[in-house]
Each structure stands twice: as structure tokens, then as C-alpha cells.
């Protein structure tokens, strides 16, 4: 009888030790996460660049630090957490204007059908038609918004300005509904640029800003 009680005490002791060690492990993990979160918060406080506005039409002074951040990169990625949020789209338009006007970028590539995007490229480069019809025929439904319309109209106005000798181009990178004509056009484009590279002795090409 006494042996059973002593064994029970040992079992209770082992259980209590196991629980205690588990709690200590959880506490240490929590402290590690808190410390890590603190480091992240500190880094953000030291490196974040405040933006004055997400709306178009004002000063771009708050975007000037982008020049050193982008440096000589030829591609800059612009994303959004959701498709349809006004602030994400207008901020993207602000960044596009800055990258084009201040840093010499010339090509806007987005998640849109590669073939039909040529209609938008033609429109912003002085093509006929109105922007509503072009957007309806060319853009995925998610992009048929007032914010994208404003950006396309800005691109068209920029290209219309004779002082801007290098024009903006619009390219879709999705391959839904690509026609044979689209493939033929791509082959012609590839052959033209391949010949141009060889003509100037640049088989690998030289980096440009897109």
C-alpha cells in the first residue's frame, strides 16, 4: 500500500515537471517572438519613408528617396494587397508617374491579357477611340476602374507631349485568350529585336529601364 502511494507521488512529480518544462518552453518561444517583433518594429521606425498622400496631383517630394532606393534597377515591382482598393491604385499611379517622369522608366507591365493589351498601348500612343471602350475591350474586369482610367489618360497625355521623345508603352503579361495573330506578332517583334542586337554587335543586349 505504501509502495503504491510512493509510486503515485513519483508519477505526479514527473507530470508536474513535464508541465513546468512545457510552460518554460512556451515562455521562451513567446519571449523570442516578442524580441523579434521588437527588432522588426525598430527597423521599420528607423527606415520607413513617410508618404504625404496616396492621391495624384500634388508634390512628389515625398517620393524622392525612391531614387536612391531604386538606383540603377531596370525593373520595379508594384503590387497591391487587394484588387479594387482605391488607395492602392492611386498610390501605384503616383509611383508610375514618378518612375516615368523622374527616373526614365518607359514600360508598364501588368497582369492583363498580352494580346488585348496592345489596344491599350495603341491608345496611350495616340490611337483612335475613347478610353471607356478601350478599357472594356482590353482590360480584365478587375482593372476597369476610375483609378486605372485616370492613369491611362495620364500616360496618353504624357506621350502626346512632343517634349517627351521617349514614349510609355503598356504590356500585358497574362496569356489568356492569345490568338494566332498575337503569336505571329510576337515572332515578328522577336526577329526585329534579335536582328537589331546583332546589327549593333550586342548579342546579349544591354540593360534598359522598363
* Pair 72, 23 in one domain: no
**Sign for the pseudo-dihedral over CA of 55, 93, 83, 148:** positive
Report the C-alpha gap between 63 and 26 in whole angstroms.
43
CB neighbours of residue 100 within 10 Å: 20
Q: Is 35 helix (H, G, I), strand (E, B) or coil?
A: helix
List the alpha helices (DSSP H) in the chain: 2-47, 66-70, 86-103, 117-124, 131-138, 146-160, 180-199
- pLDDT of 11 above 80: no
CB neighbours of residue 113 within 10 Å: 19
Is pTM beyond 0.85? Reply is no
* Pair 139, 115 in one domain: yes
- pLDDT of 132 above 50: yes
Report the pLDDT value the prediction gives residue 3, as an integer from 0 to 100. 44
Q: pLDDT tier at 34 (50, 70, 90 boundaries)?
A: low
Q: Please write the tens of the pLDDT for every residue from 84-124.
A: 889 999 999 999 999 999 999 999 999 998 888 999 999 99
Chain-centroid distance of CA 72 in Å reads 18
Domain count, the chain: 2
Report the pLDDT value the prediction gives residue 185, as an integer from 0 to 100. 74
Report the pLDDT value the prediction gives residue 1, as an integer from 0 to 100. 40
Report the pLDDT value the prediction gives residue 13, as an integer from 0 to 100. 47
* Pair 172, 75 in one domain: yes
Length of the chain counted residue by residue: 210
What CATH number is given to the structural domain containing 192?
Answer: 3.30.1870.10
Q: Please write the tens of the pLDDT for every residue from 80-91.
A: 888 888 999 999
Report the pLDDT value the prediction gives residue 174, as an integer from 0 to 100. 85
Q: What is the mean pLDDT of residues 169-197?
A: 76
* Pair 76, 145 in one domain: yes
- pLDDT of 152 above 90: yes
Report the pLDDT value the prediction gives residue 73, as an integer from 0 to 100. 93
Q: Please write the tens of the pLDDT for every residue from 36-93.
A: 678 888 888 888 888 888 888 888 999 999 999 999 999 999 988 888 889 999 999 9
Cβ proximity of 108 and 171 under 8 Å: yes
Phi and psi (nearest 5°) for 137? -80, -25
* Pair 80, 172 in one domain: yes
**If you write DSSP's letter for every residue of 169-208 in order, what string do you get?**
EEEEEE-TT--HHHHHHHHHHHHHHHHHHHHTT-TT----
Q: Please write the tens of the pLDDT for every residue from 185-194.
A: 777 777 766 7
Report the pLDDT value the prediction gives residue 197, as an integer from 0 to 100. 62
* Pair 132, 34 in one domain: no
Domain that holds residue 120: 61-199
Amino acid at each position: 500500500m505504501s509502495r503504491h502511494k510512493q509510486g503515485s507521488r513519483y508519477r505526479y512529480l514527473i507530470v508536474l515537471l513535464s508541465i513546468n518544462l512545457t510552460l518554460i518552453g512556451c515562455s521562451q518561444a513567446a519571449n523570442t517572438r516578442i524580441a523579434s517583433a521588437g527588432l522588426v518594429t525598430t527597423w521599420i521606425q528607423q527606415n520607413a519613408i513617410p508618404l504625404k498622400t496616396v492621391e495624384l496631383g500634388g508634390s512628389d517630394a515625398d517620393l524622392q528617396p525612391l531614387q536612391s532606393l531604386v538606383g540603377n534597377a531596370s525593373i520595379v515591382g508594384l503590387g497591391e494587397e487587394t484588387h479594387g482598393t482605391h488607395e492602392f491604385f492611386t498610390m501605384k499611379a503616383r509611383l508610375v508617374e514618378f518612375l516615368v517622369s523622374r527616373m526614365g522608366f518607359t514600360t508598364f507591365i501588368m497582369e492583363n491579357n498580352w494580346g488585348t493589351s496592345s489596344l491599350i498601348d495603341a491608345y496611350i500612343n495616340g490611337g483612335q477611340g475613347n478610353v471607356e471602350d478601350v478599357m472594356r475591350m482590353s482590360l480584365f474586369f478587375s482593372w476597369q476602374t476610375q483609378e486605372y482610367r485616370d492613369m491611362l489618360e495620364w500616360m496618353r497625355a504624357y506621350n502626346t507631349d512632343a517634349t517627351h521623345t521617349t514614349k510609355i508603352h503598356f504590356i500585358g503579361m497574362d496569356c489568356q485568350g492569345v490568338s494566332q495573330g498575337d503569336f505571329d506578332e510576337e515572332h515578328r517583334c522577336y526577329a526585329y529585336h534579335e536582328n537589331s542586337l546583332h546589327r549593333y554587335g550586342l548579342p546579349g543586349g544591354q540593360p534598359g529601364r522598363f
